[in-house]
Each structure stands twice: as C-alpha cells, then as structure tokens.
Amino acid sequence: LDLIFNIDILLREKKKITISQIFNELITSFLIQCMAASRVIDGTTTLREGDIAVSTGRRSKVCFARSCQWAKSVDGHVYIPYKISPDYSEMDIKLIKKGMENIEKGTCVRFVPRTHQRDYIDIQAQSGCWSYLGARGGKQTVSLQNPHCVQVGVISHEFMHVLGFVHEQSRFDRDNYVTVMWPNIWRGKFKGNFEKFKTENLDLPYDFGSIMHFGKYAYSQDGEPTIVPKNNQRMKFGQTEHLSHIDKMKINKLYKCGKSSQVSTIC
C-alpha cells in the first residue's frame, strides 16, 4: 500500500520517467523513510511505528494481522509460551502477568511459562517498550523497560503486537476517521510512525477506544495535536489502560476463538 501510495506521488510529479527510475526512487525513498522513522535496536533490528520491531535479517518477514498467527491448539486455545527475565522484581512480574490476564480474559489466548516449545516470547527489560509483530518463529523478544514500560496497559499493548495487531490509526481506512496533522509531528522525524498499512480489519469498526490507538498528541512537535478525529472533535482516544471490547473481538475473530480448532497458518 505504501509503495502504491508513493508511485502515485511520483507519477503526479514526473510525467516522463521509466519504470526502473520509478522503482529506484521508490526504493530510495522507502529506505530513507524507514531510516528516519526507525530506531535501531541492534545491527539487524529497527523499530517501526515507534514500538514494533522489524528485523532486517534473513528471517525478516512482512507481517500483518492474519499472516503471522500463533498456532492454535487442538483444545481451542492459542498458547503463547513465555520466559520472563530474572531482572524483574516480584512486583514487576505480577504486573506483567496482569497484562497477560487482560489479553486472556474473554479470549482463547493463554500465556504459559515456556517448557520446551520452539516458538516463545522472551520478556526482557531492554531499552524501551517494543515487540515484534505476530509469531516470528523461535524465540522473540518483548522489551519492557523498567520501570516505565512495566505498566499493565503498556504491557497489554505490546502483547497485542505479539498477537499480530498494528496500531489502530495505521488501518488502511483510517483517513475516513482521523486526520494526521503532519506538520505537527516532532521534527518530521517520526512521520513514519503514522504510516498506513495494508491491514486486515476483520470487518470490525474503527475503534477510537482501542488500546492500540495513539493519543491525540503522540510524537507532537510543540504540543499541537498530531491526530484529529474527523467527525467528533471531542472524541476521546489514546487510552493506555485496558483492551476495548473491540480489541477483544479482534483477537477472537483473528484466532477464531470458540470455533472448532483448526491449526492456523503459521508463517
């Protein structure tokens, strides 16, 4: 979608260019955008949308809802094995587990301590709060920096990324609901965090109440709003406390909770 978007811009600006020129320009602009928008975690991993880790190594894959689901067990649950770093205190661990319970309540997702499973999340207090998108295969880090990411809502938010969900305002149809105020984004540097993605919306309405929705002033340059709702200016959004009803529905629909167990596609 982003590429198509860029082609559109290029075609409007330059009428006479060859396909290979378009392609080269696309690659260049895409790389520049990515570099500007991303923070490098290590040699092969960067952050997209502020907190979604993207690996550029051999195992990298583009992953949107539906494409990188966790496997569903024959008992109808989706088990996500986890390991928690010993660096966390007992209190921290309680909060992390509370974040897990928030996801589990009313869904078929269950977090279980890892024993032997091949695919699992490894919760560590690295720098920042971030996660990979969906099941990546093998061990995948979820970073919950101590103390500022060890809050139940933030934890649940990162686990939603683990399940495969991007930010609500990244939905391909978000322009029907919100206006992104591009000039207000901090130093223009974080514009990449406001991109749209080719999302699978699961026939669910745009959800201002989602725990995955950025706040009105996310990445603001000088306190001016970066996201403004289209219809109701007073609409509240950007809550970081709990999953909304629709967030739960997203999980249940994507993982077909309550339906007879069929092993989901693992990529």
Residues at the annotated binding site? 157, 161, 167
Q: Write out the binding residues for Zn(2+).
A: 157, 161, 167
Using CB atoms, what's the residue nearest to Zn ion? 51
Is residue 158 part of the annotated active site? The answer reads yes
Taking CA atoms, 171 is separated from 61, 64, 87, 176, 262, in Å, by: 19, 11, 36, 10, 27
Choosing from 41, 48, 51, 164, the residue that interacts with Zn ion (CB under 5 A) is: 51
Catalytic residue among 49, 104, 158, 200: 158
Of 51 and 247, the one with the shorter C-beta distance to Zn ion is 51
- Does 168 sit near Zn ion (CB under 5 A)? no
Token pair of 22 as six digits: 């378009």
Minimum distance from residue 168 beta carbon to Zn ion (Å) = 10
Give the residue with the Cβ less far from Zn ion, 149 or 257: 149
Window 218 to 237, contacts with Zn ion (CB under 5 A): none
Give 114 or 195: the residue with its C-beta nearer to Zn ion. 195
CB 191: neighbour CB atoms within 10 A?
17
Residue 146 CB burial class (10 angstroms; 0-12, 13-18, ≥19)? middle
Part of the chain binding Zn ion (CB under 5 A), chosen from 47-55, 76-84, 198-206, 224-232: 47-55
Task: Report the residue number, 108 or 154, with the smaller CB distance to Zn ion.
Answer: 154
Tokens 């596609």 sit on residue:
265
Contacting range for Zn ion; rule: CB under 5 A; set: 6-14, 48-56, 139-147, 238-246: 48-56
Please, what is the minimum distance in Å from the beta carbon of residue 189 to Zn ion? 17
Smallest separation (angstroms) from Zn ion to the CB of 13? 32
Q: Considering beta carbons, is residue 6 or 151 the nearer one to Zn ion?
A: 151
Segment lying near Zn ion (by CB under 5 A), choices 5-13, 16-24, 49-57, 138-146: 49-57
**Interface stretch with Zn ion, choices 16-24, 44-52, 67-75, 117-125 (CB under 5 A):** 44-52
* Token reading at 171: 């939905």
Torsion of CA 92, 49, 204, 202, to 10 degrees: -100
Residue 165 CB, nearest approach to Zn ion (Å): 9
In angstroms, rounded to a whole number, what is the distance separating the alpha carbons of residues 227 and 211? Answer: 15
CA-based angle 246:250:256, to the nearest 5?
135
Q: Is 8 exposed, middle or buried (0-12, 13-18, 19+ CB in 10 A)?
A: exposed
Cα–Cα distance measured from residue 216 to residue 218, given in angstroms and rounded to the nearest whole number? 6
Burial class (CB in 10 A: 0-12, 13-18, 19+), 154: buried
- Tell me how far the alpha carbon of residue 43 is from its chain's centroid: 21
CB 157 to Zn ion: min, Å: 5
Instruction: Give the number of residues in contact with Zn ion, rule: CB under 5 A.
Output: 1
- Residues 6 or more apart whose Cβ sits within 8 Å of residue 262: 72, 256
Catalog residues that contact Zn ion under the rule CB under 5 A: 51
Catalytic residues: 158
